Structure 1
């Protein structure tokens, strides 16, 4: 779905400009996104398999919930909206713990350049996996994996065919921050 998004400079600062998401991706314009990683009190992490219809990294496992922040939209409000849309879970903004903003650049093709700043949150998952309702157009599958397995499969991108290739530092930060909360 195309939507109007805010454009940032290469340091993540607002430019007071907006563009359609498709234009930002075509031109490689920086823009903000949200990433929300859900974890359980017993050390599992919720991962999402991207839909086969996604233009970018179809059928690879990724962050629990992710999405673009609408133009002028509050970051936490965007995160709550994306959570409800993608996995059918309603939470309060107070349940989100922001752990950082991560710059990411992926050149997929000449006309698809993802230049994003991921506003990244953690949130404890307090309901069973089977109660989540995946958005069919975005999400192929949901799974809970142990933090140990997730660490082994993502550090150094040892399993590049399974996960979206975020930086090793990004994955290490997610794992470290979840461990602090267990």
Structure 2
């Protein structure tokens, strides 16, 4: 689904312009997104398998919840909305713990260049996996895996081809942030 999004400069600053998401991806224009990583107090992390019809990285495992920030939408409002849409639970601003802002450039092909700044958060998952309601158009599957296995497969590079290639430094930051919460 195409939507209007805010344009950012190369340093992640808003330019005051808006553009359709399709145009941003076609022309490699920077724009903001949200990433929300859910973890449990028992040391597990929620991962999402991307839908089979996604333009980028179909069927690879990825962040628990992610999405584009709509034009004029606040970062926290976007995070709350995306969580509701993708896994069917309601959270509040107080549930989100900021991890950082990550610059990402992924050139998929000549007319699909993802240039994004990921506003990244942690959130404790307080309900069982079977209590989540995945958005079928976006999410193929959800899984809770031990943080140690997640670390081995991403940061340890044991099974990196299973995941969206955010890079070892990104995954290392996420893993360390979750460990601090346990």
TM-score (norm 2): 0.99
- CA deviation after TM superposition for structure 1 residue 156, in Å: 4.9
- CA deviation after TM superposition for structure 1 residue 21, in Å: 0.2
Q: Distance in 1 between matches of 2:160 and 2:50?
A: 14
- CA deviation after TM superposition for structure 1 residue 3, in Å: 0.2
Q: Distance in 1 between matches of 2:157 and 2:22?
A: 28
The aligned length equals: 182
Give the secondary structure class of the aligned counterpart of 1:155. Answer: coil
The equivalent residue for 1:162 is 162
- CA deviation after TM superposition for structure 1 residue 93, in Å: 1.1
Give the secondary structure class of the aligned counterpart of 2:29. Answer: coil
- CA deviation after TM superposition for structure 1 residue 158, in Å: 3.3
TM-score (norm 1): 0.99
The equivalent residue for 1:34 is 34
The equivalent residue for 1:179 is 179
Matches within 5 A, 1:55-70: 55-70=55-70
Give the aligned CA root-mean-square deviation in angstroms. 0.7
The equivalent residue for 1:43 is 43
Which stretches of structure 1, 4 residues or longer, exceed 4 Å deviation after superposition?
none
Unaligned 5+ segments in structure 2 are none
Give the secondary structure class of the aligned counterpart of 1:67. Answer: strand
Q: Distance in 2 between matches of 1:110 and 1:158?
A: 30
